[in-house]
Amino acid sequence: MLENMTIVGFFIFFLIPLSVCQQHADTPPRGWNSYDSYSWVISEQEFLHNANLVAQRLLPFGYEYVVVDFLWFRKMEPGASVTSAGFDIVDEWGRPIPDPARWPSSRDGQGLKPIADQVHAMGLKFGIHVMRGISTQAVKDNTPVLGNLNQTWRARDIALQDEACSWMPHCFVHVNESSEGGQAFIQSLYNLYASWEVDFVKHDCVFGLDDFSLEEITTVSQAIATTGRPMLYSISPGVQANPRMATLINSFVNMYRVTGDDWDSWHDLQSHFDVARDFAAADLIGAPGLLGFSWPDLDMLPMGFLTDPGAAHGPNRWSRLSLQEKRTQMTLWAMARSPLMFGGDMISVDDTTFDILTNKIALEINANSYGNMEVQILDAIQEYTPMKELVNNTTMLFAVVDELNHNRSIAELRQRFHTRIWMARGIGGEYYVALFNLEKWSIDVSLPLIGIVEEGLQIRRVTNDTMDYQCQGKEAWSNRDIRTMNGRLHATLAPHGCALFSLHCYLS
């Protein structure tokens, strides 16, 4: 029975990624980000409280970064909001620094160093969000640029005052990176972050269709390298990002958003399937990046207790994703090997959310799988009767009869039943299979194992022999033991739900 495992083993030997480097971002980064639960208003105390809980509860599962998201340098005063100019604090060199009223430990020019120290003492790594360019506050004050420069440069010499971020136009303007002063200013920013011992920078307004700037990304990437401090470089946003755009930048960054902001709606979640498929198909998952690999980023996980985009208050409501939708999100993020950044409040995290974030199979796939892809339904439908569909919505996908006569049925089926199938291989020889139901009703799916196994081995073959393979393993969300019958894998998928299998397969 098991003799044929050697064939499988042969393929594994050649497919395991061999690069095991010392640098960070060898696997998709994991952590917590303050944005989904605290918008821009998080305080020092709230941040450290959350960090402490991340260290206690999520760090054992690899969630190691705690990232304070945008506008930590903005004063919280009447009139201040996400779009208000004039409330930011900049130092004498025009660089954003934390407001001591929100970050008491930053008094006396200490910046975020005392926060980083506390985060490091918890065993975590410290991240900050930064905006592209220069604060209009610095431009107004015409602050000098720090650096050993041949001439004196000031903010107004380097600011491109008519060029601003598409989604936050009033508070920052772009910097001319081609000038000595512009480069020196950017370097001075990253020298400051390095002096604070920042480990992770999320740089916003440089990626996606509206704000893409290759020059800004390469300049910052170089500035990070020049500091000598390994800082993980993450770029955002990713509105209408495409693989071609990604190949221009991925060697300069560790992770890059490939969608706009993701919030807790099915609409947002569903929009990630096509883009995840396209980046996987373009071989961009884990492509060479800055100090290691680069990771297409599907954005934070908005589960648990949350706030709203742009709100001026912390968490006050529960995620609107259903249990099934949360599992679907975690499963897609696992199969697409996206960075995993939890967005919910750690102080009030619910058990269900915690269980989803720490699911062993999902995390293993996220960290250690390869060959990840959305699988096209190559083969024809074996049994497909409209009657059956109307009775109980059963579909039979992926069957293995002659494909040629069934193209129209496949197209129709995909149209009617938005079912997605992802596959990947594990380093222990596993076959990972994720079945997603994008519909509002439940769907029964039945896959022939020959499709799974041979797809996993990249063999394309059309055969009627469905009896060759058997698989056993687990389904991740039910924790059910799986032993296949009749050469097929069956699952009933709840509305917007999924099944995630970790299997070992062999010829019987």
Ligand X SMILES: *[C@@H]1O[C@H](CO)[C@@H](O)[C@H](O)[C@H]1NC(C)=O
Residues that bind ligand X (CB under 6 A): 150, 160, 176, 178-180, 388, 391-394, 401-402, 404, 407, 441-442, 444, 462-464
SS (H, E, C) 253-297: CCEEECCCCCCCCHHHHHCHHHHHHHHHHCCCCCEEECCEEEEEE
C-alpha distances in angstroms, 11 versus 145, 428, 502?
Answer: 56, 12, 18
Nearer to ligand X, 138 or 361 (CB): 138
| Least distance between ligand X and beta carbon 401 (Å) | 5
Residue carrying structure tokens 């040629």: 404
- Show the CA angle centred on residue 467, arms to residues 404 and 417, nearest 5°: 50
Distance CA 152, CA 71 (A): 29
Distance CA 32, CA 35 (A): 9
Distance CA 152, CA 156 (A): 11
Do 135 and 164 form a contact (C-beta atoms < 8 A)?
no
Nearer to ligand X, 142 or 407 (CB): 407
Distance CA 26, CA 487 (A): 36
What are the backbone dihedrals phi and psi of residue 448, each rounded to the nearest 5 degrees, phi first?
A: -75, 135
Nearest of 438, 382, 435, 434 to residue 415 by alpha carbon: 438
Strands 134-135 and 125-131: unpaired
Distance CA 141, CA 94 (A): 8
Distance CA 398, CA 193 (A): 52
Nearest of 19, 32, 95, 23 to residue 315 by alpha carbon: 32
Distance CA 439, CA 325 (A): 11
> Which amino acid does the sequence have at 87?
F
Distance CA 155, CA 141 (A): 8
Cβ neighbors of 363 (< 8 A, separation 6 or more) are: 61, 62, 334, 340
Nearer to ligand X, 7 or 462 (CB): 462
Nearer to ligand X, 335 or 482 (CB): 482
What are the backbone dihedrals phi and psi of residue 105, each rounded to the nearest 5 degrees, phi first?
A: -70, -10
- Show the CA angle centred on residue 35, arms to residues 30 and 39, nearest 5°: 170
| Least distance between ligand X and beta carbon 176 (Å) | 4
Cβ neighbors of 3 (< 8 A, separation 6 or more) are: none
